[in-house]
Amino acid sequence: MSHAFKRCACGRTYTAAAWRGLPLAGTSLNNPSLESDGPPVAGMAWPLELRHCACGSTIAVELEPVEVHQ
């Protein structure tokens, strides 16, 4: 049996395989020490993968952390 991997606020749930089938909206770098519009600072950051739910919302999954160098 497949387990839920991600749930949208609309109530739809996606397995990992179904998630990969959703349209890719893009990626973003989540660095807790980012200033409002500044570049990433040295340390760890968490890339986010953004995909479009069938309802039209954009939902995100946090990927493996990466090291950011200045």
The string of pLDDT tens digits covering residues 6-61 is 999 999 999 999 999 999 999 988 766 655 566 656 677 888 999 999 999 999 99
Contact present, 31 and 3 (Cβ < 8 Å): no
Considering the domain boundaries, does residue 1 fall inside one?
Answer: no
Domain count, the chain: 1
The C-alpha atoms of residue 53 and residue 7 are separated, in whole angstroms, by 9
DSSP per position, 16-45: HHHHHHSPEEEEEEE-TT--TTSPPPSEEE
Considering the domain boundaries, does residue 16 fall inside one?
Answer: yes
Considering the domain boundaries, does residue 50 fall inside one?
Answer: yes
Which pLDDT score is estimated for 49? 94
Structural domain harbouring 26: 6-30+41-68
Choose between 66 and 12: higher pLDDT: 12
Contact present, 38 and 7 (Cβ < 8 Å): no
Contact present, 11 and 22 (Cβ < 8 Å): no
Regarding pTM above 0.85, the answer is no
